[in-house]
Structure 1
Amino acid sequence: MIDPFTAFATAQTAVAAIKKGIQLGKDIGGISSDLAKFAGAISDLNFAHKRSEHQPWYAVLLGGDGDNAMDIFAKKKQAEAMRAEIKQFIQFSYGQSAWEELLLIEAQVRKDRQATMYRKAEIRQAIAEWVLGILVVVSSLGLFGLVIYFIGKKQGRW
């Protein structure tokens, strides 16, 4: 599971490093790893927000985590504010072309994470859902069988 709170902390750390790098006069290449960390953290927050909106059936049945969804939404909004701040810093220091380069980096990070990390999380969730579903069905059948057995035993059929 992608932890949105860790992703938000990573985004905050990356923003601080980006600001410091810009203040120290580093070129865009010098802060590119921090930009990639920030892009990854934002992507993780967006994925966590999407998953909180579309909770699995068992989470809905067992009482979904509404507080967590609100926290994720709040973190996402704070991250959007950080993104706007970074945009101003980058455009002021390096120009519009550097911001467009950052957008390309973000798109590539999102695509890479979708192909790897998010897909793995979705597969794990699907496996857990199937296993849980099979356990529920097998347990229900076993319980039904026990009820039939005891009814039959009480009636003297076996």
Structure 2
Amino acid sequence: MAVKSIEELFVHELSDIYSAEKQLTKALPKLARASSSPELAQAFESHLEETNGQVERIDKIVELLDLRLKRIKCAAMEGLVEEGKEVIEEVEKGPLRDAALIGGAQKVEHYEIASYGTLAALAKQLGYEDAIPLIMDTLKEEKGADEKLTRLAEQGGNQRAAQQRKSA
């Protein structure tokens, strides 16, 4: 990564999160199918719709700013997706897997929150006024998804996993 300017850093970060979102569009349906909780499966399915919209927003930013994204693969998201695959393979379907999937999904959301926060700060510094609201809309959605996952965990997901342990 030979980044030599703040503009190049913005393009690199935007390219990275674009790759991350694309990887996520492939992973979310698998997470939904792996969930035993209908509420968790629905959360993954509704976040897939949001993620598709977030990809469209990145496309709009690229168009507005007349940028060219770099063809890179987000290594961080690749690792997080791989962790999710391991959970699906190694943890029996049920409340314990759901708790692990929630935790993994929150790692993803926190990565995305950090990425969009960085992009918002860079866009502000660069004077990319048209891009800032689009980035902030996505940042708000990512924070909302994280809050939804926290509620699912607190409203019984983790408790059901703990009860499963006691009865095993």
TM-score range, shorter chain: 0.3 to 0.5
TM-score, normalising length: structure 1: 0.41
TM-score, normalising length: structure 2: 0.39
Structure having the higher Rg: 1
